[in-house]
Amino acid sequence: MKLSLNPQAINDVLDGRWAEGRRRGRELALDPRSHEDPADDLETTRAKTLVGVGLMADSGLPLVSLPPELGGKNQHATNVAGFEETVTAAPSLQIKAGVQFGLFGGAILHLGDAEQHKKWLIDVQTGKLLGSFAMTEIGHGSDVASVATTATYDVDAEEFVVTTPFRAATKEYIGNAARDARAAVVFAQLVTAGVNHGVHAFFVPVRDESGDPMPGISIEDDGYKGGLKGVDNGRIAFTEVRIPRTNLLNRYGDVSADGTYSSPIDSPGRRFFTMLGTLVQGRVSLDGAAIVASKIALDIAVRYGLERKQFNSVDEIEETTLLSYQQHQRRLMPALAAVYASNFAHDKLLASFEEVFSGADDSEENRAVLETRAAAFKADTTWMALDVIQECREACGGAGFMAENRLVGLRADMDVYATFEGDNTVLLQLAAKRLLGDYAKEFSNLDIGGVARFIGTRAAEHSLYRTGLANAGTAISDVFSGNLSEKRIRSGRLQRTLLENRVESMVASVAQNLRPAMKMSQAAAGELFNSTQHELIEMARAYVELEKWKALDEKMKEQTDADQAKVFRRLRDTYGLTLIERHLGWHLMYGRLPMFRARQINDTLNRLCAKLAANALDLVESFGYGDEHRRATIATGVEAQRQAEAADYFRRARAQEDFPVDEKHLRKAEKAAAKAAAKAAAKSGNRSGSKAGVK
């Protein structure tokens, strides 16, 4: 059952094309000055996190993504991969650094012009100018188009006047705001010459040299949150704050001195989505960060599960190791498989991210693919991380609840990943609309006008999205045809067909349901759309699951070492069958899977998980982390040491004459003796009886 694996070789596969970035990030994460201690108070934790941000800046990593004219290398994925790995130091560090370099710096890079780059960008990416990314308001988070802060151009002064018109328009949950930011990129409705041109980004100084808020700026501290203690979130409100005209980040929209608005993109809707699209890095890196956090949790739980023993279920004396229990395997091994699948899907996401942002292929189509995947993957993976970390925490019992074993802290920090940078349910709907748009384009001869109404400007405009779903159409009948030789449930073709077919059928079903919408009033159409919302979201998750499965399947096929290929197959089948089991009702209800085959799944998964458990240590060792990344007492071997001490004690004690005997053994012996005596008595009675009879 156990395969001979080389964790270093598997680590190379996992780290993939951006291995260098990952190694740099992992190296950075080792510095104890940025490590949180649960006993630290809020300000100490924030200060440590800032030290970590400084270390990252000093490493030069944030400069890598800049264009060559600013001393950068125009490398985007390396940079992101490195950031993701700093989750092993602390998710707070990844987020605070993400705000500073990815969002604040990223907005200047992508939304500003060359002059603005020169003025601010080097200072930002070297950590000299600390900043915030002020988009979300109390009243509007995921619906960015509705933010209510205004920036009104004053033609006489050649300045914008930034204002928070009412309380709900206060910028909220803004990272770096409560303590460290000197400036912020503020998203506000740009108004000039009596026209509101929609949301644009502005560079606004928020604190002076001594750290006091600038005139007209009021800042409040968000205080304690469910996690991310090292990130100083806060609220920012503006009362007639004046900034120079040239502080408008003007790549996609500018205002001339006389107040004339101009933009290279004519359609206000398209312009808005293009601006937002440049900020996709945040979602990409959350996808990756959630994978890193899941890896650390599994690394800890698997190591503990291989040492910790409880209950002597197989042997009279020797207790059983946790990971030998079937349920323990069923808790942790599917999680391991999901993390592997997510890892390879994320690598493909990074590849597309690199293509778009390096300029190698920044076509409209490629951007659309990137944005759709980033949104959908971020949603699925951040939820996966919460489930995986919680499973790991429970699998470690009470020890898992101790802060010193990291799991509870990791989970608390990752919690908000499910709702920030776009609420997961909103992001999945965004992805779902793209899938519908594709479908509408592909079958444009059909009357599916209703769909067009909902898929939004951007989705309606982009060219055919490459889901590849069109191929799945007829495959389902092939798989169950008499010609099929792969009869076992582990057939990759079967898994792929089921997963593909589910996405395609759901897309077709939703599109069909939306057909009448075109002829309806807005209210009626809105209600019709709402009545499919649950299915829409399920459909987008089904799409991500398929994409992750395919990424793992592809990677499996690349493996040349026999045992390594075998373990990848086990991972793929475990992931695939877990997905099919999760949606088994669907596959059966629509006749995709015969009942007898469905009944094989549970046992097959049991066997697969047992096989994976035999190599569980190799599979977590392959993540490439050391004790100093895990920093969990229970994963350092103390459990095995304690057990050795206990075993040693019992060995020595039993050797002594006065070691107490167990009452239950005495009772057994008594019973046995009584039985023997009764037997003997009966025998002798019989004998004397027969003797008497003879007499």
- Residues 335-394 touching its own copies, rule: CB under 8 A, are 386, 390, 393-394
Closest to 105 in 3D by CA, of 249, 238, 254, 265: 249
Provide the minimum distance between the beta carbon of 691 and its own copies in the complex, in angstroms, as a whole number.
37
Among 466, 486, 488, 649, binds its own copies (CB under 8 A): 649
Looking at beta carbons only, is 168 or 680 nearer to its own copies?
168
Provide the minimum distance between the beta carbon of 681 and its own copies in the complex, in angstroms, as a whole number.
22
Provide the minimum distance between the beta carbon of 10 and its own copies in the complex, in angstroms, as a whole number.
27
Give dist(CA 691, CA 694) in Å, integer: 5
Work out whether 403 is an interface residue with its own copies (CB under 8 A).
Answer: yes
Work out whether 415 is an interface residue with its own copies (CB under 8 A).
Answer: yes
Give dist(CA 173, CA 336) in Å, integer: 33
Residue pair 150/199 in contact by the 8 Å Cβ criterion: no
Residue 170 neighbours by CB under 8 Å, 6+ apart: 137, 138, 164, 235, 236, 237
Report DSSP letters for 450-515, one per residue: HHHTTSHHHHHHS------GGGGTTHHHHHTSTT----STT-HHHHHHHHHHHHHHHHHHHHHHHG
Among 82, 227, 305, 334, binds its own copies (CB under 8 A): 227
- Going by their DSSP bridges, the two strands 234-238 and 217-221 should be labelled as antiparallel
Among 359, 482, 585, 693, binds its own copies (CB under 8 A): 585
Give the binding range for its own copies (CB under 8 A) out of 57-65, 191-199, 283-291, 551-559: 191-199
Work out whether 424 is an interface residue with its own copies (CB under 8 A).
Answer: yes
Among 32, 211, 215, 397, binds its own copies (CB under 8 A): 397
Work out whether 418 is an interface residue with its own copies (CB under 8 A).
Answer: yes
Give dist(CA 555, CA 351) in Å, integer: 15
Task: Dig out the tokens for 592 from the structure.
Answer: 């995709």
Residue pair 324/302 in contact by the 8 Å Cβ criterion: no
List the x/- string, 14-53, binding to its own copies by CB under 8 A.
Answer: ------------------------xx-xx-----------
Work out whether 154 is an interface residue with its own copies (CB under 8 A).
Answer: no
Work out whether 655 is an interface residue with its own copies (CB under 8 A).
Answer: no
Phi and psi for 653 in degrees, rounded to 5?
-65, -45
Number of chain positions touching its own copies (CB under 8 A): 117
Provide the minimum distance between the beta carbon of 536 and its own copies in the complex, in angstroms, as a whole number.
8
Among 290, 356, 416, 448, binds its own copies (CB under 8 A): 416
Work out whether 645 is an interface residue with its own copies (CB under 8 A).
Answer: yes
Work out whether 674 is an interface residue with its own copies (CB under 8 A).
Answer: no
Give the binding range for its own copies (CB under 8 A) out of 5-13, 155-163, 223-231, 354-362: 223-231
Residues 563-582 binding its own copies (CB under 8 A) are: 581
Residue pair 253/277 in contact by the 8 Å Cβ criterion: no
Give the binding range for its own copies (CB under 8 A) out of 21-29, 308-316, 360-368, 612-620: 308-316
Closest to 588 in 3D by CA, of 498, 678, 658, 657: 498
Work out whether 651 is an interface residue with its own copies (CB under 8 A).
Answer: no
Q: How many residues does the chain have?
A: 695
Spell out the alpha helix ranges (H) of 244-363. Answer: 268-277, 281-307, 326-358
- Give the DSSP letter of residue 57: H
Work out whether 325 is an interface residue with its own copies (CB under 8 A).
Answer: yes
Looking at beta carbons only, is 403 or 678 nearer to its own copies?
403
Residues 591-610 binding its own copies (CB under 8 A) are: 591, 595, 598-599, 602, 606
Looking at beta carbons only, is 11 or 390 nearer to its own copies?
390
Residues 460-519 binding its own copies (CB under 8 A) are: none
Q: Which amino acid is at 577?
A: L
Residues 236-265 binding its own copies (CB under 8 A) are: 261
Task: Dig out the tokens for 8 from the structure.
Answer: 């270093």
Buried b (16+ CB within 10 A) or exposed e, 207-236: beeeeeebebbebeebeeeebbbbbbbbbb
Provide the minimum distance between the beta carbon of 434 and its own copies in the complex, in angstroms, as a whole number.
17
Q: Give the burial class of 636: count Cβ atoms within 10 A of its Cβ; 0-12 exposed, 13-18 middle, 19 or more buried.
A: middle
Looking at beta carbons only, is 156 or 663 nearer to its own copies?
663
Looking at beta carbons only, is 654 or 695 nearer to its own copies?
654
